[in-house]
Amino acid sequence: MGQVIVTFTLTNRIDQLLAQRGFISSGEVRSCILDNVLVDTSATLLCLPASIISQLGLVQGGEAQIETAAGVQQGRILRDVELSIAERQGTFDCLELTEVPYALLGVTPMEVLGLEPDLKNRKLRVLPMNSEQTYLSVL
């Protein structure tokens, strides 16, 4: 089995709303492209290093106890980051990573966006969403 490595775009959703309403210019919307992001099925949320959180100007929404390889630690939860990947996008909370300088794509954003890791082919599989089938259900 192999690792799945992806590239995606992150945008400060609050900046986007301010630009849509004319309070700031579209050029002032903070965003970045992250390459070489590990898809981590043991991570729950989108996990970002402090440097990316600072660059995007994300707002802290709270703190939580986080289970890490080093044990349970206190972690910051940040709000309103838009994740764009594989022609899908959504707004998510994220967890600040303090131990490592790289990002992780966890299970929750993948499920919400209809993505699943294909370890054999080392890529993300985009689940169907068309007039005949959809990954979303209310059953």
CA atoms within 13 A on the CB side of 132: 0
Q: Which residues pair with 79 in a beta bridge?
A: 59
pLDDT, tens digit, for every residue of 2-49?
799 999 999 999 999 999 999 999 999 999 999 999 999 999 999 999
pTM, two decimal places: 0.88
pLDDT, tens digit, for every residue of 103-125?
999 999 999 999 999 989 999 99
d(CA 83, CA 16): 13
DSSP one-letter string for 52-103: HHHHHTPEEEEEEEEEETTEEEEEEEEEEEEEEETTEEEEEEEEEESS-SS-
71-83 in b/e form (b: 16+ CB < 10 A) is: eeeebbbbbbbbb
d(CA 32, CA 58): 12
